[in-house]
Amino acid sequence: MRLLRVATCNLNQWAMDFDTNLRNVKESIARAKAAGAAVRVGPELELTGYGCEDHFLEQDTTAHAWECLKDILTGDYTDNILCSIGMPVIFNSVRYNCQVFCLNRKIIMIRPKMSLANDGNYREFRWFSAWTFKDEIVEFQLPIEVSEAITQDTVPFGYGYMRFLDVSLAAETCEELFTANAPRIDLALNGVEVFMNASGSHHQLRKLNLRIDSIRNATQTCGGVYMYANQQGCDGGRLYYDGCCCIAVNGDLVAQGSQFSLKDVEVMDALVDLDAVSSYRASVSSFREQASHRTNVPFVKVPYKLCQSFRNGMVPTSPVQVMYHCPEEEIAFGPSCWLWDYLRRSQASGFLLPLSGGADSSSVAAIVGCMCQLVIKDIEKGDEQVKADALRIGQYKDGEIPTDRRELAKRLFYTVYMGTENSSEDTRLRAKRLAHEIGSFHLNVPIDSIVSAFLSLFETLTGKRPRYKVDGGSNIENLGLQNIQARIRMVLAFMMASLMPWVHNKSGFYLVLGSSNVDEGLRGYLTKYDCSSADINPIGSVSKQDLRAFLRWAAIHLKYSSLAEVESAPPTAELEPIRANYSQLDEVDMGMTYEELSIYGRLRKIFRCGPVSMFQASISIFENLCHSWCGRLSPSEVADKVKHFFKYYAINRHKMTVLTPSYHAESYSPEDNRFDLRQFLYNSRWPYQFRKINELVQEMDKDGKWETPAEGQLTMQTGAQGSGMGVVAAGSANPSAGF
């Protein structure tokens, strides 16, 4: 029996912070060695951090990575352990994303990435080239400083595997796991038994199962041991890398790390039986036949043994149950950990949130509260790094230790209810109760006097004073009055964030948190430069539907019971006067429900639908609107809905150019910076596309394929409890909620 102990890890790296990154890499190697591992794999580009982006174009970045690698190789870190270390490498003036394999203070091989990630949030082709040569391994001349330090001039470079005396190992890098013609297929047919995947994979709601299934299927089809390493945390941008390092053997997971954590380093190890891999493969006739006439893959011979012989008491690691978080837990823990990383690395002293008592700002408050709970739990578990960060950020005195989540929140979190005459007593009390449950320092700040001052100035300048719609004003007046309230709140929030620490004799500043959700961003239902404009936003890529489910979950599991009342209340901006016969509601203002918005968003982004294909998708797997509402709406009514959405999407797209940096969580995010790249000046009439839709409607009506529902069959569903695709007025007011 050939037994091999292998180790993988989650590392919380920070782009361009070489000291932190090197320290984490060293710590992970030390822990792997302490566990008795003979092989260790780390995350993709772990020395630089994955998110360096255009810093990869700087020669310094690659040079510093080599300096860090030299530091590792000149110590005893790689003694008796094969280490895969991720870093950029320039070969013949071309930059590659590489895994560098080191053993006993020498470099065994450099493996460049062959399939680059270049969609969604990924732009690897902007900085790297893919290695395309599969038939040979070439010699790479090491940098002089490294060469002299380790007395080695050259190293094998390219696609291939390492043949040790007792085991064959090879690499895959992140995206290569998911490609149709994955490298592991030919490598497995050439006898490679252990695959080492260095990854930089970010969190997205409901995504983990796809990754785990790919890892398990990789070893179920071809057999073998698959080691997966990942970054974990915020490395300086919108993404949260969600760890979940793991080890799979012949289709079974035998080790799994955490998906969300405040730890800087987490190492998982397993003892694997390589003879079980050989037996598994030999039992599959199709694998034997394909292996017998395989395409040979180049390899590097390494005269060294990694395995250990069987001894009494040595038992291969047994399979484990895969751990998945529900979406509500993902919303709680992912953004919480992202916020903690951002807070401790930004040198800020805490957060300030305009808390309205509505679903969105209450969700953000609950996430900050969850962050405080996680910090206290990790301190209780003995995490010295989390403790040191909490002591510094909370500005505790010598001898004081954070022990209570509410006391910690009092130091780190300010909430401000900025009410006007249009605000209800219900939202004010909901904000106050939630702040008390979380423990934040809460302020109730009436802003009517500031609004009145602006209106008086405007009246002095123009001789006119605008009125609300309910008081006889026009839509233009109504919108202007709402916008001034919203924008005053933004200015006041930033002023308080910079000055309140001074008021309380604390150093530093507070980060302002935004609270607009992905659906409002998609529709543009937010005021440009209002409280949606902040330093960062933990829910900017989360849908309203998911947030409401999160509120129900958090009311119980985070023990913030007031959230149940928040969730049950109909969404409203409270920017217009409340009358006996009128109360402002978001879904009426928008002319569509939040459920409809989620469908529009998925069709637009995930299924790549323009106006015409959104109306009538030709492939049945598309959840197109005609099929979804068949029997409830006529073709012309579905057409009106689609045109209504695209009209206001086009009008408001410009708002995405100034959207607050948001935690990425949803696959249909309209975030303009890197994920959803589109113009921001549209012909909002969409004349050609809408004309085509009208033609399709006429054909459908003529063919008689659709029956118009009988009178009374259609229902109006506004507010949070609506479960269907409600029919809403296409001509509703407040089209942009702030241009």
Specify the DSSP element, H or E, that contains 249: strand 246-249
Residue 401 CB neighbours (<10 A): 9
Structure-block tokens of residue 369: 């509260």
Distance CA 165, CA 639 (A): 68
- Only one residue has tokens 């080691």, namely 227
507 counts as catalytic: no
244 counts as catalytic: no
356 counts as catalytic: yes
Among residues 33, 113, 605, 647, the one annotated as catalytic is 113
Distance CA 194, CA 510 (A): 48
Is residue 198 within 8 A of residue 46, CB to CB? The reply is yes
Among residues 9, 102, 174, 222, the one annotated as catalytic is 174
Specify the DSSP element, H or E, that contains 414: strand 413-417
Is residue 127 within 8 A of residue 116, CB to CB? The reply is no
* Residue 599: closest CA among 629, 631, 633, 623: 623
626 counts as catalytic: no
Structure-block tokens of residue 651: 């009008």
Distance CA 322, CA 246 (A): 10
State how far the alpha carbon of 189 is from the alpha carbons of 222, 277, 630, 633, 662, in Å.
8, 12, 51, 56, 44
CB proximity list for 402: less than 8 A, separation 6 or greater: 375, 376, 379, 387, 390, 391, 394, 396, 408
CB proximity list for 139: less than 8 A, separation 6 or greater: 154, 155, 156, 157
Distance CA 514, CA 535 (A): 7
Distance CA 344, CA 375 (A): 12
* Residue 600: closest CA among 567, 623, 633, 627: 623
Among residues 44, 172, 437, 567, the one annotated as catalytic is 44
Angle of CA points 128, 129, 134, to nearest 5°: 140
**Cα–chain-centroid distance for residue 553?**
20
Is residue 443 within 8 A of residue 415, CB to CB? The reply is yes
Distance CA 346, CA 185 (A): 44
Estimate the crossing angle of helix 59-73 against helix 18-34, to 10 degrees: 30
Angle of CA points 631, 635, 639, to nearest 5°: 130
Q: What type of residue is 365?
A: A
Is residue 281 within 8 A of residue 189, CB to CB? The reply is no
State how far the alpha carbon of 512 is from the alpha carbons of 49, 491, 524, in Å.
26, 11, 21
- Only one residue has tokens 């690499």, namely 171
Among residues 115, 168, 356, 515, the one annotated as catalytic is 356
| Ramachandran category for residue 502: left, alpha or beta (phi over 0 → left; psi -120 to 50 → alpha) | alpha
* Residue 596: closest CA among 542, 522, 683, 656: 522
Distance CA 393, CA 579 (A): 45
**DSSP SS3 for 380:** helix
* Residue 351: closest CA among 300, 395, 292, 414: 414
Pairing between β-strand 2-11 and β-strand 308-309 as defined by DSSP bridges: antiparallel
Distance CA 155, CA 137 (A): 10
Active site residues: 44, 113, 174, 356
